[in-house]
Amino acid sequence: MQVVAADPAGLEAALAALAEGRLVGLPTETVYGLAADATDGRAVAGIYAAKGRPSFNPLIAHVADLAEAERHGRFGADARRLAEAFWPGPLTLVVPKRPDSAIADLCTAGLETVALRVPATAVARDLIRRFGRPVAAPSANRSGRISPTAAEDVVAELGDRVAVVIDGGRTPVGVESTIVACLDGHVRLLRPGGVPRAAIEAAIGRALDPDDAEGSDPARPLAPGLLVSHYAPNARVRLDAAEVRPGEALLAFGPDALPGQERAVARINLSPTGDLAEAAAGLFRALRQLDASGAPTIAVAPIPADGLGEAIRDRLGRAAAPRG
Ligand code: TXA
Ligand code: MG
């Protein structure tokens, strides 16, 4: 495994690895991705193996722009509006897959739909454009673990399972993309993420369609990968804590002190001013650091559910869920 800079030489090394069907740690604006040639089934199989990810859980194909996306998926008016409003950026669109798309069936887990995204970092866009093919990339963590927001996290998660890691520094958004399905005239939120729900609704000019019965059952999510337990640190996670109990680490938010916080064995405030974008950017790093304190439990202060708070609370809820 080789860690390279986000410069022309690093890009060459990453391109060579992709061309050989090997895996690349790729900085996007949300989290680091584990990238491979999305048109090469064997390369995609390498992603599932490296992550220990079930192969029924499809991957996002990353493309250079909307024109490339439209070669792989069918975009109706809503999907096109969303792509134009938020690409490049932290939005993934699930649309019907074109039968003539070159994206491997293993990437889409055999579904008739495809998840497409145009990432916003210069290095990711340069890599995809120069590679000339879509790049499959889940978050570069072992399945079920905390997503990586720095190159060193990718190295810690995957080590030699990845050929090249591009070090692009810390990812600015810090939570994964918002996933929106545009299917059969319905627009549904499959995963809250870096684009807030209200911004999606403003772009389509109406409220999102409610989840159907299947989507509202957390054990059978519309996004097959949204298993309840995810982002799991070794420590137990206790949400909406009203106080800090003996032995606990504290994930704080905002200016207010929690009773007993002085006895926390480790403490990180995601944003002392209560800024949700700052909190999202530091969330996964903070979970990793508090976990490293060895505390058996991480108490999490209340975090509001508006804006990016919906994605933050979603991730923390999965981190707190009983482990399967
Ligand atoms: O920000 C992100 O989206 C990052 C960066 C690397 O782009 N990627 C990411 O990928 O979070 P991953 O694999 O960790 O999460 C992708 C989610 C999974 O829950 C998967 O089930 C869902 O997208 N997904 C992929 N294709 C789908 C499809 N056709 N229909 C429904 N859900 C899909
Ligand atoms: Mg993931």
What structural domains and CATH numbers belong to the chain? 2-216 (3.90.870.10), 236-320 (3.40.50.11030)
Sign of CA dihedral 117, 121, 125, 131: negative
Question: What is the mean predicted confidence (pLDDT) over 219-240?
Answer: 74
What is the number of the ligand closest to the CA of 284? 2
CA distance 172 to 170: 6
Chain CA centroid to CA 187, Å: 20
156-173: buried (b, 16+ CB within 10 Å) or exposed (e) per residue?
A: ebbeebbbbbbbbeebbb
What is the number of the ligand closest to the CA of 105? 1
Say if residues 278 and 314 touch (Cβ distance below 8 Å).
no
Among 3-12, 175-184, 194-203, 206-215, the least confident range: 206-215
Pocket lining: 115 vs ligand 1, CB cutoff 6 Å: yes
Does position 41 have pLDDT exceeding 50, yes or no?
yes
What is the number of the ligand closest to the CA of 120? 1
The percentage of residues in the chain with a pLDDT greater than 90, rounded to a whole number, is 90
Residue 289 Cα to ligand 2 midpoint, Å, equals 19
224 falls in which pLDDT band (50, 70, 90)? low
pTM for this model (two decimals): 0.94
Structure tokens at 317: 């809820």
CA distance 54 to 222: 16
The residue whose C-alpha atom lies closest to atom 17 belonging to ligand 1 is 225
Question: What does the pLDDT read at residue 324?
Answer: 63
Pocket lining: 113 vs ligand 1, CB cutoff 6 Å: yes
Pocket lining: 179 vs ligand 1, CB cutoff 6 Å: yes
Pocket lining: 78 vs ligand 1, CB cutoff 6 Å: no
Say if residues 163 and 35 touch (Cβ distance below 8 Å).
no
Pocket lining: 173 vs ligand 1, CB cutoff 6 Å: no
- Strand 135-136 with 164-167, pairing: unpaired
**N-terminal to C-terminal alpha carbon distance within the chain:** 31
